[in-house]
DNA sequence: CGTAAGCTTGACAATACTCAATCTCTGTGG
DNA sequence: CCACAGAGATTGAGTATTGTCAAGCTTACG
């Protein structure tokens, strides 16, 4: 399966994905940059399918996803599954800004993943937010973004057609991966089986397959072996009513 | 329209709905109880359809919904609407535990509403959480609960049939209103038009109407002029896979 | 090569939507 | 007090979308 083909980044670069994202939301001091960079020091590997968070588990061990994809989902008794959100490289999971919270959903690895302990990050923004103002603000913005993605997901699944929602999800994944430097203007690696995408989109595999074919036939995307190329990003964005979320009033001072 | 018929509570009792809910999650000191109770002092009335929060607006003016129903939603350019969540009596909206956040969605009143300024509550839990530990914990639990309801909504709309999801929503509303004392074991007032329920459930009005008829025909609910009676709550819960959310590890000490 | 996972296809069925009409309230004005 | 208007609920008929089942195909990989 070359679905899981790497991005060609070395380990150091991968450890800095999170930094890319956080730096969009706030100016980080050298001390803050050092903290984030140091997270990638000790990492663990897990295979696809590994349970990363169990529903009901205490949310007190924040972790940084260095590489690979994961997701949060829930299942109905008869096996129907709804994927709530994808966890992408550079995302932190298992971190809740509310103390004593417990996980509302299970999270599993969708591909082989590499994970780092982010306890230092959680400690910094929860207990020492005065020392780490930039990190704290950036993590708060990130939390808002996650909520915005959840609302997007609800909008897709509740009110958009299969065609629209498939396009919308692809655009959202492209945007999220662009932010951490894992996608260029028109190309992005999406290492998901159609079954997984279908469970995220609330569609059957067969119907998603036909919907993807329709997008290809209409010259809107190319999609093979996990690589997606956006052929007409503007048309896609328009048909899917895709608009990047505005999340925080804090504007980053200077570049 | 007697859809909006009141609950027969007097103003004082209505002001204490929030107290009911918060007291489930933490023991509140007399000082905390006083703060919450005092919120209902000065209130404002708005008619159905009034915009309560605008998308993009700064989330710095928390408000307590004393009576009436509201919702958060988003629309597609062609008019399709998805309701994300309902705001019920005793709910606080416009309060975000993250500083500087902006509203991700618009909120409007669905019925005539009565609203109180909850700035004192926001101030207490954000700036003076040391003095108000019970309130702070309870509000954090409430925030988790709201996320749980959002995930329920996504599960309904993404993977449940019209029949299941309609039953599930009714059960969830019954549970939420029970918590604030606005529903008894089997009866609850749901002052929503079928159009509004349809927009929450991701269904067309016509299909929702037929689905409700099916639930009635199967002797599971009665539903007329805004009053719902659960005839067989256990069967409903089973067919809808309804399970009350577990949200926090903090257990309230004693009753 | 053989296997297994994932993708694709065809045929058919079920679910859900649209359109248009009718019915039922409830409040309003004469 | 009644006719009327308007919002909301209901119904029927026809259509579109999406799901199910079952089979074949492709690809990666041992």
Residues B72 and B88: their CA atoms lie apart, in Å, by 11
Quote the pLDDT of residue B178: 94
Quick one: DSSP state of residue A53?
Answer: E
Confidence tier at A18 by pLDDT (50, 70, 90): confident
Q: Which of A7-11, A118-122, A159-163, B184-188 has the lowest mean pLDDT?
A: A7-11
Residue B38, φ and ψ in degrees, nearest 5: -70, -15
Residue nearest to nucleotide D21 (CA to C1'): A206
**Percent of chain B scoring above 90 in pLDDT:** 80
Could you identify the residue whose CA is nearest to the C1' atom of nucleotide C6? Answer: A193
pLDDT, one tens digit per residue, over A87-115 is 999 999 999 888 888 999 999 999 999 99
Token readout for A99 is 């103390």
Q: Who among B100, B104, B143 is closest to A151 (CB)?
A: B104
B24 vs B161, residue with greater confidence: B161
Nucleotide nearest to B4 (CA to C1'): C26
pLDDT of residue A204: 98
A-B C-beta contacts closer than 8 Å: 117
Structure tokens at B61: 């003016």
Cβ contact, residue pair A249, B158, below 8 Å: no
**pLDDT computed for residue A157 by the predictor:** 98
Q: In 3D, which of B110, B216, B115, B105 has the Cα closest to residue B170? A: B216
Q: How far is the CA of B156 from the C1' of D12 (A)?
A: 28
DSSP B126-194: HH-TTT-HHHHHHHHHHHHHHHHHHHHHHHHHHHS-HHHHHHHHHHHHHHHHHHTTSB-SSEEE----H
Read off the pTM: 0.93
User: Checking DSSP bridges between strand A227-230 and strand B113-117, what pairing results, if any?
Assistant: unpaired
Q: How confident is the model at residue A83 (pLDDT cuts 50, 70, 90)?
A: very high
**Chain B contact set for A141 (CB, 8 A):** 98
**DSSP conformation class of A60:** -
Q: Work out the burial of residue A95: count CB atoms within 10 Å of its CB; fewer than 13 is exposed, 13-18 middle, 19 or more buried.
A: buried
Residue A254 pLDDT grade (very low, low, confident, very high; cuts 50, 70, 90):
very low
At residue B247, the pLDDT reads 73
Position A253 scores a pLDDT of: 45
Query: Interhelix angle for A133-159 vs A194-201, to 10°?
Result: 90
Find all residues with CB under 8 Å of B104, minimum gap 6, and list them.
A144, A147, A148, A151, A245, A247, B55
Q: What are the Cα distances from residue A253, in Å, to A24, A134, B21, B184, B194?
A: 10, 11, 41, 54, 48
Residue A182 to chain B, least CA–CA distance (Å):
26
If pLDDT is split at 50, 70 and 90, which confidence band does B138 have? very high
CA dihedral B195, B199, B200, B204 (to 10 degrees): 80
- Using the predicted structure, report yes or no on whether residue B19 has a pLDDT greater than 90: no
Q: How confident is the model at residue B254 (pLDDT cuts 50, 70, 90)?
A: very low
Q: pLDDT value at position B192? A: 97
Spell out which residues of chain A touch residue B101, defining contact as CB-CB under 8 Å: 140, 144, 247-249
Q: Which of B143, B131, B155 shows the shortest CA–CA distance to B30?
A: B131
| Local structure of residue A246 (DSSP, 8 states) | P
Q: What is the pLDDT of residues B189-240, one digit of tens each?
A: 999 999 999 999 999 999 999 999 999 999 999 998 899 999 999 999 999 9
How high is the pLDDT of residue B249?
59
As a whole number of angstroms, the distance between CA A22 and CA A91 comes to 10
Rounded, the Å distance between the CA of A207 and C1' of C10 is 13
Confidence check: pLDDT of A173 > 90 = yes
Q: What is the mean pLDDT of residues B245-252?
A: 63
B205 touches chain A (CB under 8 A): no
Residues of A in contact with B151 (CB under 8 A): 74, 84, 104-105, 150
**A54 alpha-carbon distance from chain centroid:** 18
Confirm whether any atom of chain C, the nucleic acid strand, is less than 7 Å from CB of B163: yes
Can you give the pLDDT at residue B5? 62
Element (H, E) at B236: helix B233-240
**Tokens representing residue B81 in the block:** 């609407």
CB atoms inside a 10 Å sphere around CB A216: 14
Does the structure show a pLDDT above 90 at A214?
yes
Q: Which pair of structure tokens corresponds to residue B82?
A: 């998805």
Contact list in A for residue B154 (CB cut-off 8 A) is 82, 84, 150, 153-154, 157
The model's confidence at residue B40, banded by pLDDT at 50, 70 and 90, is: confident
Minimal-distance CA residue of chain A relative to B153: A154
Check CB contact of A237 with chain B, cutoff 8 Å.
no
Write down the residue that tokens 């007190």 correspond to: A60
Among B56, B153, B159, whose Cβ lies nearest the Cβ of A202?
Answer: B159
The half-sphere exposure of A232 on its side-chain side, counting CA atoms within 13 A, is 11
What's the distance, Cα to Cα, between the start and end of chain A in Å? Answer: 40
Nearest-angstrom CA–CA distance, B29 and A145: 35
Q: Does the beta carbon of A155 lie under 8 angstroms from any beta carbon of chain B?
A: yes
* Residue A170: predicted pLDDT: 98
> Minimal Cα–Cα distance from A8 to chain B, Å?
35
Least confident piece of the model among A4-8, A36-40, A211-215, B137-141: A4-8
> Does the C-beta of B213 come within 7 A of strand D?
yes
Report pLDDT for B245: 80
Are the C-beta atoms of residues A92 and A45 closer than 8 Å to each other? no
């Amino acid at each position: 399966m070359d679905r899981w083909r790497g991005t060609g980044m070395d380990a150091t670069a991968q450890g800095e994905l999170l930094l890319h994202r956080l730096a969009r939301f706030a100016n980080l001091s050298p001390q803050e940059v050092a903290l984030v960079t140091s997270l990638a020091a000790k990492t663990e590997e897990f295979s696809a399918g590994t349970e990363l968070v169990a529903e009901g588990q205490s949310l007190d061990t924040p972790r940084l996803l260095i590489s690979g994809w994961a997701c949060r989902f829930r299942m109905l008794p008869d096996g129907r599954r709804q994927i709530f959100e994808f966890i992408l490289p550079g995302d932190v999971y298992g971190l809740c800004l509310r103390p004593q919270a417990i996980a509302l959903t299970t999270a599993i690895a969708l591909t082989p993943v590499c994970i780092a302990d982010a306890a230092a990050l959680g400690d910094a923004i929860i207990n020492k937010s005065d020392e780490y103002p930039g990190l704290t603000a950036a993590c708060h913005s990130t939390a808002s973004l996650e909520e915005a993605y959840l609302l997007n997901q609800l909008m897709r699944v509740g009110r958009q057609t299969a065609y629209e929602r498939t396009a919308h999800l692809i655009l959202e994944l492209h945007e999220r991966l662009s932010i951490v430097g894992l996608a260029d203007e028109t190309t992005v690696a999406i290492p998901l089986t159609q079954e997984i995408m279908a469970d995220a989109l609330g569609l059957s595999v067969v119907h998603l397959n036909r919907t993807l074919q329709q997008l290809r036939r209409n010259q809107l995307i190319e999609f093979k072996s996990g690589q997606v190329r956006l052929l007409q990003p503007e048309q896609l964005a328009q048909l899917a009513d895709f608009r990047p979320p505005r999340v925080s009033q804090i504007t980053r001072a200077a570049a």
